[in-house]
Amino acid sequence: MARIVVVTSGKGGVGKTTTSASFSSGLAMRGHKTVVIDFDVGLRNLDLVMGCERRVVYDFVNVIQGDASLNQALIRDKQLENLFILPASQTRDKDALTREGVEKVLTELDEMGFEYIVCDSPAGIETGALMAAYFADDALVVTNPEVSSVRDSDRILGILSAKSRRAEQGEEPVKEYLLLTRYSPKRVAEGEMLSIKDIEDILRIRLIGVTPESEDVLQASNQGIAAIHLRDSDVAQAYKDIVARYLGEEIPLRFTEYARPGLLKRMFGGK
């Protein structure tokens, strides 16, 4: 059975799409046949972040409505041959996502032999987000170290525990993982951001990783490459660690401690 992973947050702009792109790429890099679905009908972004926007002919809604087959709509990633993207529709109404339609597509993807189905949820708690979350086995809850993001993540966790298929059918609950993005150890040390400990204490779910605040993310998305592919980037390393932890490896956290710059560094600059 394919494992369905929703990447969600409640709040917008915290890094869901960046995470979806890098996490699905990471799974594919480890040899797992993976598909990533953009649930943000009307505001599609995933195809841009993964650099396949010019190859979008058919989309998720076309498949749901039977206008195109999955094979026609799936786009093979330009970096990884066992990663596929199912883009969102730019033009359709978000009500086009029906539970039966989504279920049909997920079942078909499972039959095609995909091991992981990553669902990139839109922000908010409307239809798209509920659809993305409903069928999830696992949830990556993307959170920034600030109070409103943490509050929205808490809200989404409540929805997952009450309104997912697993909850409704009384199965084992959705596995929840906390993924902190845009973490700046320096600003935490200066008291401008919530610390990992604060956030863990509020949300109380397993921390799967921390990605540092970095300009690399913007650069990668402008180039249409998932951030995990960047060379010599902390963000790419952090995402690789996250994928490894998700697959069951024990790896210590990185990029979470603030080292005060030494005298030489201060004199001669350097990042």
Partner 1 sequence: MKSKDSLALDFKSATLYALRVVLHDSDTGALCAALDQRMRDAGSFFKDEPVVIDAHALDTPPDWTALMQALRAHSLHPMGVTAAETMMAAAREAGLVSVELSASTPKAAVAETMPPADLAKPRTAAAPPPEDGRPAPAPAALVVDGPLRSGQRVYARATDLIVIGMVSQGAEVIADGNIHVYGPLRGKAMAGARGNTAARILTTCLEPELIAIAGVYRALEARLEPELHRRPALVQLEGDRLQLRALDG
Chain residues binding partner 1 by CB under 8 A are 151-152, 154-155, 157-159, 161-162, 202, 204
Taking the complex as a whole, how short is the minimal distance between the CB of residue 117 and partner 1, in angstroms? 25
Q: Say if residue 270 is exposed, middle or buried (CB neighbours under 10 Å; 0-12, 13-18, 19+).
A: exposed
Taking the complex as a whole, how short is the minimal distance between the CB of residue 182 and partner 1, in angstroms? 21
Separation CA 7–CA 40 (nearest Å): 12
Separation CA 214–CA 208 (nearest Å): 19
Q: Residue 10 or residue 209: which is nearer to partner 1 going by CB?
A: 10
Q: At what angle do helices 216-223 and 16-29 cross, to 10 degrees?
A: 80
Q: Residue 111 or residue 171: which is nearer to partner 1 going by CB?
A: 171
Taking the complex as a whole, how short is the minimal distance between the CB of residue 136 and partner 1, in angstroms? 16
Taking the complex as a whole, how short is the minimal distance between the CB of residue 175 and partner 1, in angstroms? 14
Taking the complex as a whole, how short is the minimal distance between the CB of residue 124 and partner 1, in angstroms? 13
Q: Residue 55 or residue 204: which is nearer to partner 1 going by CB?
A: 204
Q: Are 180 and 211 in contact (CB under 8 A)?
A: yes
Separation CA 196–CA 122 (nearest Å): 25
Q: Residue 161 or residue 184: which is nearer to partner 1 going by CB?
A: 161
Parallel, antiparallel or unpaired: strands 83-86 and 75-76: antiparallel
Q: Residue 78 or residue 155: which is nearer to partner 1 going by CB?
A: 155
Q: Residue 134 or residue 239: which is nearer to partner 1 going by CB?
A: 134
Q: At what angle do helices 216-223 and 234-246 cross, to 10 degrees?
A: 80
Taking the complex as a whole, how short is the minimal distance between the CB of residue 220 and partner 1, in angstroms? 32
Q: Say if residue 227 is exposed, middle or buried (CB neighbours under 10 Å; 0-12, 13-18, 19+).
A: buried
